[in-house]
Amino acid sequence: MKYNTTTLDIATWSGLIIFATSSVIIPICLPEIRKSIPATFSESGTIETIRNFVVLIILLLAGFLVQLWSKKRFIAQGQFLIALGLLMISFSQSYLMLVSSILVMGVGGGLSEAFLNPIIVDIHPVNTGRYLNLSNAFYPIGIIASAFIFGELLTMGYSWRTVFRIASIFALLVAIFFNLLNFPRSTNNEVSSWHTYKLILKMRGFWLFAVAIFLGGGIESALTFWGRSYVQEYLSDIPRAGAIAIMLFAVSMAVGRLLTEYLSLKLSLKNILLSSTLLGIGIGFLLPLTTTLMEFYSLIMLAGLATACFWPTILAEANSCLKVNTTILFILLACTGVIGFGITPMIMGLIGDSFNLRTSFILVPIFFIALLFILIIEKRFTKKIFI
């Protein structure tokens, strides 16, 4: 089946790449940042928590903000703010300055997270799950590009501050690109109220999807945020080596999302989710046991395949099962995913300070097991829940 893609699709893919860059650039540069701005494991993990907390606030407000301005304006402004935040971070001289700059970047990331997936639904009201998986494959592609380019720059001796300034330029170009395009009318009613939120929050089915995306986001951030630091701590002190680990994880996530898009024509999304979770449980237990770089590379690639389908597929399943305002539904689900994405690095940092970073990776299989139980419950009681 051929794709019906537009220029706005390309812009959306670019926006997801920039959002991915803003998410992964800190973990890629974290060892170098900690040399310039001293921080413990827990303080480093808190950086990601703060960024995602701001994203969460923006997501909660997004359903009301869209009534004031168009999605186009919010997405473009989000990219501008990401560019500004990246530039500000490059000039940070203290932990407080770093956190303040991340707050700005987080606002931009929140606007991107809130409106990019709903725009995909507006462009492709038919076969939405297929296009969500295709488009969201560009998030790990963004991680791949960032890990490769920035890892090489760091290995060549360039300052982490230079890396952030380069990323800022790319974000600015994408913001300009969005400003030049026309957006389609929404396929859903954009009028939002507390009643719309309450209606969705009262649905038992929503909470199953919410917990599932919380766990999926937590797994993804655990491996993305701490992957390079794990390599630096136990396997290799070469910046490229840790960046390659993140890059391989992202490559397998991109492949996994494209594979999910293909398999969705032959298998149900529920069965794809269950199979991925079972794979993830085994990989999760093996990851902290690795003693060589090649073992870690192999396992983190498999972990990427196991994790790939969660975010876009859970969104697609929820959109299919819950007949409500898609924008608000996606915003609320993204909120819980962002909470999982943000709090997991902090929890792992606390475990790392109390024990060691290797021990903190036990959180990955625990999350996979919890996700398996949620998916079994959802599959067993779907008919009862969504009537």
Residue-wise DSSP of 153-179: HHHTT--HHHHHHHHHHHHHHHHHHHH
- Least confident interval from 103-107, 183-187, 263-267, 313-317: 183-187
Alpha-carbon distance values, 191 to 33, 58, 82 (Å)? 43, 17, 27
Mean pLDDT of 251-256: 87
> How far is it, in rounded angstroms, from Cα 160 to Cα 44?
16
Mean pLDDT of 224-235: 90
Mean pLDDT of 160-189: 85
Q: Is the pLDDT confidence value at 385 over 70?
A: no
Report CA dihedral (88, 12, 47, 93) to the nearest 10 degrees. -10
Q: Which helix (H) or strand (E) holds 87?
A: helix 71-90
SS3 labels along 19-62: HHHHHHHHHHHHHHHHHHCCCCHHHHHHHHHHHHHHHHHHHHHH
Q: Is the pLDDT confidence value at 384 over 50?
A: no
Q: Which helix (H) or strand (E) holds 356?
A: none
Q: Is the pLDDT confidence value at 186 over 70?
A: no
Residue 81 CB contacts under 8 Å (≥ 6 apart), including other chains: 104, 105, 107, 108, 111
Q: Is residue 1 part of a domain?
A: no
At 77-95, the pLDDT tens digits run: 899 999 999 999 999 999 8
pLDDT at 237: 86
How many residues in the chain?
Answer: 387
Q: Is the pLDDT confidence value at 387 over 50?
A: no
At 95-120, the pLDDT tens digits run: 889 999 999 998 998 888 778 877 88
Q: Residue 382 — very low, low, confident or very high, per pLDDT cuts 50/70/90? A: low
Q: What is the CATH number of the domain that holds 116?
A: 1.20.1250.20
pLDDT at 222: 93
Q: Is residue 84 part of a domain?
A: yes
Domain span holding position 207: 7-182+191-385
CA angle 45, 51, 54 (to 5 degrees): 140
Q: Is the pLDDT confidence value at 153 over 70?
A: yes
372 vs 48 pLDDT, higher one: 372
- Least confident interval from 48-62, 177-191, 210-224: 177-191
Q: Is residue 240 part of a domain?
A: yes
At 123-150, the pLDDT tens digits run: 877 777 677 778 877 887 888 888 889 9
> How far is it, in rounded angstroms, from Cα 291 to Cα 164?
32
Residue 57 CB contacts under 8 Å (≥ 6 apart), including other chains: 110
Q: Residue 386 — very low, low, confident or very high, per pLDDT cuts 50/70/90? A: very low
- Least confident interval from 115-119, 158-162, 171-175, 365-369: 115-119
Q: Residue 176 — very low, low, confident or very high, per pLDDT cuts 50/70/90? A: very high
Number of domains making up the chain: 1
* Widest CA span in the chain: 59
> How far is it, in rounded angstroms, from Cα 281 to Cα 290?
15
Q: Is residue 318 part of a domain?
A: yes
Mean pLDDT of 220-224: 91
> How far is it, in rounded angstroms, from Cα 335 to Cα 329?
10
- Is the pTM for the entire model greater than 0.75? yes
Q: Which residues of 310-323 are buried (b: 16+ CB within 10 A; e: fewer)?
A: bbbbbbbbbbebbe
pLDDT at 304: 92
Average per-residue pLDDT for the chain: 85
190 vs 267 pLDDT, higher one: 267
Report CA dihedral (1, 305, 232, 20) to the nearest 10 degrees. 40
Mean pLDDT of 323-335: 81
Helices 269-286 & 293-307 angle (0-180, nearest 10): 160
At 256-305, the pLDDT tens digits run: 888 887 887 777 777 888 899 999 999 999 999 998 999 999 999 999 99
> How far is it, in rounded angstroms, from Cα 387 to Cα 385?
6
Q: Is residue 202 part of a domain?
A: yes
Q: Is residue 2 part of a domain?
A: no
Alpha-carbon distance values, 75 to 41, 104, 113, 131, 342 (Å)? 33, 15, 9, 19, 21
Alpha-carbon distance values, 55 to 10, 24, 291, 339 (Å)? 23, 15, 36, 9
CA 170 to chain CA mean position, Å: 19
CA-wise closest residue to 339 among 210, 249, 236, 197: 210
pLDDT at 3: 67
DSSP 349: H
- Least confident interval from 176-180, 195-199, 211-215, 346-350: 195-199
Report CA dihedral (309, 248, 228, 44) to the nearest 10 degrees. -30
Q: Is residue 59 part of a domain?
A: yes
Mean pLDDT of 356-376: 92
Q: Which amino acid is at 368?
A: F
